[in-house]
Amino acid sequence: MVLPIVIFLNWVWHRLLLLLFIKMPRFSDRLLPRNSPPSRPPVPSSLSFPSFPKCSLHGRDEATLVCDVHGGILRTPSFFPFFMLVAFEGGGILRAFALLLSCSFLWVLDHESQLRVMIFVTFCGLRLKDVEGVSRAVLPKFYLENIDGGVYDVLSSVGRRVVFTSVPRVMVEGFLREYLAVSGVVGTELGMCGEYFTGLVAGSGLVVRHHALKEYFGDSRPDIGLGSTSFHDHLFMSLCKEAYTVDRASSVALPRSKYPKPLIFHDGRLAFLPTPLATLTMFMWLPLGIPLMIFRMLIGILLPHRLALFLGSASGVQITLKGDRPIRSSPEKGVLYVCTHRTLLDPVFLATALGQHLTAVTYSLSRVSEIIAPLRTVRLTRDRSKDADTMQRLLREGDLVVCPEGTTCREPYLLRFSSLFAELADEIVPVAVDVSVSMFYGTTASGLKCLDPIFFLMNPRPRYRVHVLGKVPRELTCVGGRSSHEVANYIQKLLADELGFECTSLTRKDKYTMLAGNEGIVHHHVKRS
């Protein structure tokens, strides 16, 4: 019975979208300007432009360049993956599944109808705040990874950049202005009802690039135009003084070292570019990944370290341990492990790899994570004197784990280390921790933190690398005469060098201000009688 019902619902969904966007031409026409040009206006019979490597990069400081995002700046010509990111991260898994279902008939539609359908499925009912959050915290990572390195060199050589695109402006404007210093962005505007998107295009209609360029520049002509080999791009580029085509066959990704702005913070759960095939693979994996996640979680909670390590490795979790368990010098005070912070599971994997019972201190741990944690966790208050007393007491009871960054960072950077730990311990052991995931990120800034371990353990083959370094020499600690800030900076640099990361002075507050618009502090309200 299930299969016929699914087929029937899928058929109803397709008919609804076809009725809305194809079978109602009068309604669709009202979404376009009355003077909208025909979809294929006349064009000179011979338009042939050289490839962009032939564009001179010298003496362009006063030049104006125009291009599109897809077919120009990005190596990925399809805009489906970026709509999927908005649908999944901003709307949830059901909306993402609906967008994936639409792929079964999108290929039979023309370009304009495809875009209208994807806009409707992706944006209908979404809040403006949620979409802006995705555009600010999620999309820039995937845009940067898809920038064409050669096109970026051309962009960097000119003094003024203007982008014309038919995709919704809200998806691209923030990235283009912040990372590529684009001075003007003309994109499709979407209809709204209060703070929510209707899913329909606004009265100005879908942006027709060559028409929008004429309106934007008037009688003047931009100096350089970049575009693909498609008909509409050629028409768009013919309005420029110079025009160059972008050849995707020879495109190369922009290396991280050349990013116009370092990518340190980003949010979202998806760790891959969600093309239709990749998204289908994810949905096919979920019925296997959820039971596997439950199995991995249960063995970590219920079984001894050695057996949990064996079964976890058999289930696909790769744990690499380098270094030996340090020997405690004094029975009266424990060893303080200072870890880089990649996920909430850092102390768990360290304890499992060492086969040792540890206590972890943390900030803003969710109640669910605290309950299911297979090791003792103690919440800190962010009051320096109280936290110092708490950590001193815990060190007298045994070995302790602390992550002085105070929050996780996904990229190869280390945030500023809090210096409190350096004042408390005589024996400090730095631990370089790094993770690799292929499908889901196990961290979040704006989502539910209780789901972080769940998403991490749903990855097919998550990998944890733990390198226990030797004890910090006594003369390099506070006991040896160094200040707590010197010790913290020394250990940060030591761990960064071991991992091949870069040290920063950024903090937890910087991360959450950028990604979530708050300071990242969870306030626990006490009910008063």
pLDDT digits (tens, 9 = 90+) for 359-411: 999 876 666 666 667 888 888 888 889 999 999 999 999 999 999 999 999 99
pLDDT at 13 over 60: no
d(CA 364, CA 215): 52
Computed from CA positions of residues 421, 422, 426, 432, in that sequence, does the dihedral angle turn out positive or negative? positive
For 473-503, what is each residue's pLDDT tens digit?
999 999 889 999 999 999 999 999 999 999 9
What was the pLDDT predicted at 505?
95
> Per the structure block, which two tokens stand in for 468?
């226990």
Lowest average pLDDT, out of 23-27, 86-90, 269-273, 332-336, goes to 23-27
Residue 165 has pLDDT above 60, yes or no: yes
Q: Are 365 and 524 in contact (CB under 8 A)?
A: no
On whether the CB atoms of residues 113 and 166 are closer than 8 A, the answer is no
pLDDT band for position 15 (50/70/90)?
low
The kind and range of the H/E element at 201 are strand 196-201
* Residue 503 contacts residue 419 (beta carbons within 8 Å): no
pLDDT at 472 over 90: yes
What confidence tens digit (pLDDT) does each residue in 112-134 have?
A: 999 999 999 999 999 999 999 99
Looking at residue 364, its pLDDT comes to: 67
Q: What is the pLDDT of residues 316-359, one digit of tens each?
A: 999 999 998 888 888 788 999 999 999 999 999 999 999 888 99
Nearest to 352 by CA among 415, 306, 311: 306
Residue 4 confidence (pLDDT): 47
The answer to whether the beta carbons of residues 167 and 93 sit under 8 Å apart is no
The per-residue pLDDT of the chain, averaged, comes to 87
CA atoms of 273 and 224, how far apart (whole Å): 30
- CA dist., res. 457 & res. 46, Å (int): 56
Concatenated DSSP letters of 90-134: II-HHHHHHHHHHHHHHTTS-HHHHHHHHHHHHHTT-BHHHHHHH
pTM equals: 0.87
Q: What is the pLDDT of residue 376?
A: 87
pLDDT cut 90: percent of the chain above it: 68
Query: 66 near 164, Cβ under 8 Å?
Result: yes
Q: Which of 268-277, 285-294, 348-357 has the lowest mean pLDDT?
A: 348-357
Please tell me what DSSP assigns to residue 447: S
pLDDT value, residue 291: 97
Q: For 411-529, where are the E strands, in sequence order?
A: 413-414, 428-436, 463-468, 502-503
Question: What does the pLDDT average to over 59-73?
Answer: 92
pLDDT tens digits for range 96-116: 999 999 988 888 888 899 999
Average the pLDDT over 292-321 and give the result: 93
Residues 6+ apart with CB under 8 A from 117: 17, 21, 102, 106, 109
pLDDT of residue 25: 38
- The residues pairing with 105 across neighbouring beta strands, listed in sequence order, are none
What gap in Å lies between CA 296 and CA 299, rounded to an integer? Answer: 5
Of the pLDDT bands very low, low, confident and very high (cuts 50, 70, 90), residue 293 is: very high
- With a CB cutoff of 8 Å and minimum separation 6, the contacts of 188 are 115, 119, 165, 166, 167, 168, 169, 201, 202, 204, 205, 206, 207
